[in-house]
Every structure is written in C-alpha cells, then in structure tokens.
Structure 1
Amino acid sequence: MLRSMYSGISGMKGFQTKLDTIGNNIANVNTYGYKKGRVTFQDTMSQTMSAAQGAIAGVRGGINPAQVGLGSQVGSVDTVHEQGNRQTTNRPLDLALEGDGMFVLAEGIPGSPINETSTNVDLSQVNVSFTRAGNFYLDDSGAIVNGDGKYLIGESSTGQAGVITIPDDAQSFSIQTDGSVNYVDSTGNPQEAGQIRLAKFSNPGGLQKVGSNTFQNTNNAGLSTAADGTFNDINDLLVAGEDGTGKMVSGALEMSNVDLAESFTEMITAQRGFQANTRIITTSDEILQELVNLKR
C-alpha cells in the first residue's frame, strides 16, 4: 500500500485535533480568565532508504542519508498563559491580576475545617485549585467564594491560611492592590478582614485544566513557594505585588486571551491543511486504481 496514503491519514488526524482546539478557543472567547490552547506538530519516524556514508579520501565524497517521511503527529497541546485584556466592571468583588500569579481556591472535603463557624483552613486537608477568573461573590456567611462556591483563600483575620469573611453588618468594604480586604463595621470604624494571597508557578503551562475556569497543580508546574509541591500553610501563599506576582485590581476582570483574528486565520490554515491531506489520499487511491487496471 502507498505510504502517502498513511501519511495523509496522519495529517488529517493532526489537523482535526488542531480544529478541535481552535473551536474550543473560539467557544471561550468571552470566558473570564480563559487561557487559549495551541497545537504543535512533529514528524514521525522516517524510513531510511540508504544510510549516510562518510567520505573516502581520494575515492569519493560523503553521501547523505536518503529517508522518506511517514507522516506527522501531534507534538503537544499547550496552554498559553499570556495575560488577557482587562475589563472594567466597577464591582468591588471583581478582581484582575496585573502580572503573574493565580487565585487560590479551596473546596471542603469530609472532615474539612471549612464551615460556617471557622475561617481557618488546613490546606493539606482540602481540595486546592487555582484560577485567573476573578469574579467572586459573598455566600450567606459572608465568605468570599467563586461562582461554584469554592472558597477564596488568603490570610484570614487570625493570621492563618483560611477563608476571608466580611461581617453581615459591614457598611462597606474594599480590596487593595496587595489583596488586603478592609471593611467599615457597624460603628463606622475601619477593620481588616484579611488578605487575599496568590500562588505562582515557574511553569504555568504545566497546570492541568479541570473545568470551571480552574487549574490543578501537577508535578511539572513548579510551585514557587512549596518545595514539596503542595500547599500546607500561610507560608506557601504569596502577597500580591511581591515575589514576582502581579498586583490586584479591584473592580475589573481579566478577559480571555483568545484573539479572534488569529483564531480564524489558524482555522483557515487548518482547514486547508486538512483538505490537502484528503487530496493526498484521493491521489493515492487513483494511483492504486491504475495499478489494479493493469490487470485488465
């Protein structure tokens, strides 16, 4: 069977993956904090027709190898963590990060210290995830949570890692660029509810997407503060604007970093590449038909 047919099939599979990735990017063009995907290709093993030969002095020069490629394959599906544009909302619980870093979220598990009466969190006993989507809300107990009810983690009012809670009788509250959460109590006195902390990764591309705008840590992400790769206490959380993290902007959200013009251009090239590979298969089929017709 012609090798070109199998090369065309491998090319079609690769461009299908690229189109799937582009489609997902376009679907999330308005998703807060979304990081676009990118597909790269690499060639497969080549069949060597003749090996390279060195030069023989006074007889002949060197000969290059003769190889026929056997198609392509998907090399990687990367997550591009460049910063998206900032959209002003003027909502105090909408937070954007200007620079590196991610918000830390925790979801309670059986036996978790996260409950209505305690704001401190043992980070080794909860499900921790990370996000760049800064649309947060207050639950019925005044704790800051995301849209799925996961708690935003920082330094609580007790000085430990935990949930930041704003009292129900607070007259107003604000969030500073370093993540400090301040509020005015019922008597008109300013109080501090805590400080939102961040996580930073040396290789954010190594994070694993788990849906709902969140990522999970992996062994290849490179947590900057936790040497063992896990969060345990407040010392594993970073202050916004320090240690290479970005500043926090209240009243704004980071939009998706998907560029529609780039996505549509990539979609056109992927479509043409897919069509070209189908043409390879069609041409190979015509050649095989000619070979079959030799018998007639």
Structure 2
Amino acid sequence: MLRSMYSGITGLRNFQTKLDVIGNNISNVNTYGFKKGRTVFKDLVSQTVAGASAPGANRGGVNPRQVGLGSQLAAIDTLHGQGSSQFTGNTLDLAITGDGFFQVMDGNEVLYTRAGNFYMDQNGDLVDGDGRYVVGADGIINIPQSASSMSIGQDGTVFYVDLPEGAEAAIAAAEAIFRPIETTFKAAEKTLNDAKDAVKTAEKDVKAAGKAVEKAQDALDRANAMDPADPGRAAAITAAQTALTAAQGTQTAANTALTTAQTAVTNATGPYNTAKTAYDPAKITFDAVMSANKAVLQEAGQIEMVTFSNPGGLEKTGGNLFRTSANSGDAVTGFATEQGFGKMESGFLEMSNVDLAEEFTEMIVAQRGFQANTRIITTSDEILQELVNLKR
C-alpha cells in the first residue's frame, strides 16, 4: 500500500510541475518573442518481483514481473516554433521569420532574444527596452540624431538619410557668404520690378487719358458745329470745353507719372545690374556646395544574428532573453536572408507561440491526472485503515 501511495505522490508532483509550466505559458500569451514550454514525464525504476526465465525443453519462457514505483519529470522542453507576426508600423520593431536570434549586450555578456521591439537612446544607439545594446556586424549600431529618416532592410541593414560628414559646416560657410549677396540682389530686383510695374500702370493711364481727351475734343467740335441760332449752343460749348480741360489735366498728370516711373526704372537698373553681377557667380558657387553636400542614403550598420545547433538547449534568463548552455551548442553568427538565419521584417513583431486552446486542453488533462493521483493516495489510505482495523 505504501508503494502505491508514494507512486501517487510522484504523480502529484509531476502534474503540479505541468500546471506550473502551463500557467507560465498562458501568462505569456501576449509576450513578444516568447517560446512556450512543455513537460515530458517518464517512469521511475521498477521493482522486480520475479525475473525472466528462458524457455526450456518442457516449458516455455516467463516474462519478468515488475512493479513500477511512480513517475518522474523527464524534461521541460522549450518549443521554438514560429510565432505569428503582428503589424505595428514602427520601423524599429523587427520580427524574425526563421530560426535566427537577435544579440544584445548585457555588460560583457551576450544574450539572445526573439523579441525585436527595439529603440533609440539619447545618443542614437540601437537598444532593447532595458537599454542593452543591439549587436551589429561592427559593434553598436548608431543612427545620428540629425537623420531625417531611417529604414531597416530584410537583411538587417540599417539605413538613414542624412548629410555627409562635414556637410553642415560647408553649408553654413557657403550660406554666410551667399545670403547677404542674395538679400541685396533680391532687394534691387524688387525695386526694379516695382518700377517697371509702375511704368506699365502709367502707360495704361496715359493711354486712357489720351482717349478721354479725344472724346472731349470731339464733343467740343460737335458743340461748335451747332447752329448759332440754337439757344443751347453756348451751354454745350462751355460744358465741352470744361470736360476737355479736365481730360487734358489728367493726361498731363499721367504723362508726368509715366516720366517719373521711367526715371525710377533707369535709377533702379544700375544697382540691379551691379547686384546681379555679384549674385550670379555666388549662386553658382552656392548651388555647387549644396549639390555636393545634399542628404544621401547612408548605412548605420547591419544587425548580426545567431543560430544554434540545439536552440532547445538555451537557458531562459527572463526578460525574453536566452543564454547559451552546455547543450545548446556554440552560437553561429550570420545575417538575415542567409541560409538558416531567416529574414527580418521591419514594422512587425513576433507574437508568442502559445496556443490557448492547446494550453487549456493540457490544463484539463493535468487537472484530471492530479485528481486521479489523489484518488490513489486516498484509496491506499482506506485500505491501510482496513488493515489496521483487522487487529480489533
């Protein structure tokens, strides 16, 4: 009886461990890059009641008779199956499609992860959520803070758009020379253009005034041609003469304004020509400096990846991180899109590979297994109670 009771105890312990693993899986169902665990059981040693015997001349062989002493934990596996990818749209979110791992530096130790939610720190270095540096082919990957945009290719190459080295100083020096010349030229150009616009306006006014004078003169001529006996002739002549005098005054003013505008054009032409003589070569030089120092696509580095001959042998350290163990094999370095490393997808994150339906099913199995082992203990206890009662 004691033997069956102790076998039930081993079952309780094992199913409790299985429930612990299932609970951890479920709690990490939304953890990026999480790899679920699995418990595997095996039987304990068996007590041999009678050994096997070989067949003889008159009797056949007999199998061994053994009584098992319970179960034990064979393994808690980490299953590195691919998790589904979730779109985030964030450039620094990276999902691995394949078997590779990212590397991060924790002091002098290199750790490994599948969680690709990375960030830029104050210095522009690529880090994980806890500030560990992401390892690139040439060390730490840095994106200048002056970069206007960035992207990450499927091979892990980090690109950014920025001015080349020394460009800011060259542009600043060129602007210091060119901007004052440009300001002088723009002012002279505006003065000349305003004067030319004034000439066009004055010419229109002169033309309109000329037509008004012609119209008034025609009216005066018609008044003078009226019959002298017409009583309204004198009034018509007076009115026409007044209108003609006013039109001639307007014409004179328009001619004066035109002359003034033409003089302004003449006066503005000289400074404009002088400013343009300085502006044209300065503009050519400035454009050449800007063309030579324009923002270009540059590489910040390439994210390095690793694979292992036995990823199931990696040791979990918490924080979505793994470290090598005696059975994981050495880290083999490489880059995404190379054979065996998979590829990177920017703007995506790998979700946990936990299947809730499977976990709930395993939870029910573990619960029933635990319950069945308690029945073994209680049943054994009842039998022992009966044996004790025999003494009465």
Give TM-score, length-normalised by structure 1.
0.87
2:301 aligned partner: 194
Q: Is the 8 A contact 1:201 1:223 kept in 2?
A: yes
Which of 93, 117, 139 lines up with 1:135 in the alignment? 117
Q: How far apart are 1:166 and its partner, in Å?
A: 0.1
2:390 aligned partner: 294
Matched, 1:251 2:347: yes
**What SS is found at the alignment partner of 1:24?**
helix
Q: Is the 8 A contact 1:199 1:223 kept in 2?
A: no
**What SS is found at the alignment partner of 1:106?**
strand
Between Structure 1 and Structure 2, the one with more strand by share is 1
- CA distance in 2: counterparts of 1:147 and 1:70, whole angstroms: 48
**What SS is found at the alignment partner of 1:141?**
coil
Over aligned residues, Cα RMSD in angstroms? 0.9
Matches within 5 A, 1:214-229: 214-223=321-330, 225=332
Which of 259, 263, 282 lines up with 2:359 in the alignment? 263
- CA distance in 2: counterparts of 1:64 and 1:257, whole angstroms: 45
- CA distance in 1: counterparts of 2:328 and 2:141, whole angstroms: 26
Larger Rg: 2
Q: How far apart are 1:239 and its partner, in Å?
A: 1.1
- For 1:181, give the aligned amino acid: V
1:210 aligned partner: 317
Matched, 1:75 2:85: no
Matched, 1:64 2:46: no
Task: Give deviations 1:106-149, integer Å, cap 9, x for gaps.
Answer: 123xxxxxxxxxxxxxxxxx210000000000000000000011
Which of 262, 270, 273 lines up with 2:369 in the alignment? 273
2:47 aligned partner: 47
- For 1:253, give the aligned amino acid: L
1:164 aligned partner: 141
Q: How far apart are 1:224 and its partner, in Å?
A: 5.0
Which of 148, 159, 167 lines up with 2:130 in the alignment? 148
Between Structure 1 and Structure 2, the one with more helix by share is 2
* Range moving further from structure 2, 171-180 or 239-248: 239-248
Q: How far apart are 1:3 and its partner, in Å?
A: 1.1
- CA distance in 1: counterparts of 2:2 and 2:305, whole angstroms: 56
Structure 1 consecutive aligned stretches of length 4 or more whose deviation exceeds 4 Å: none
- CA distance in 2: counterparts of 1:146 and 1:184, whole angstroms: 22
- For 2:336, give the aligned amino acid: A
- CA distance in 2: counterparts of 1:7 and 1:216, whole angstroms: 36
Matched, 1:182 2:289: no
- For 2:362, give the aligned amino acid: E
- CA distance in 1: counterparts of 2:345 and 2:339, whole angstroms: 17
Q: How far apart are 1:62 and its partner, in Å?
A: 0.7
Task: Give deviations 1:199-243, integer Å, cap 9, x for gaps.
Answer: 100100000000000000112112253xxxxxxxxxxx3011113
Matched, 1:282 2:383: no
**What SS is found at the alignment partner of 2:160?**
strand
Structure 2: runs of 5 or more not aligned? 164-293
- CA distance in 2: counterparts of 1:154 and 1:222, whole angstroms: 21
Q: In the comparison of the two structures, how many residue pairs are matched?
A: 262
Which structure is richer in relative contact order (CA contacts within 8 A, separation 6 or more)? 2
Give TM-score, length-normalised by structure 2.
0.66
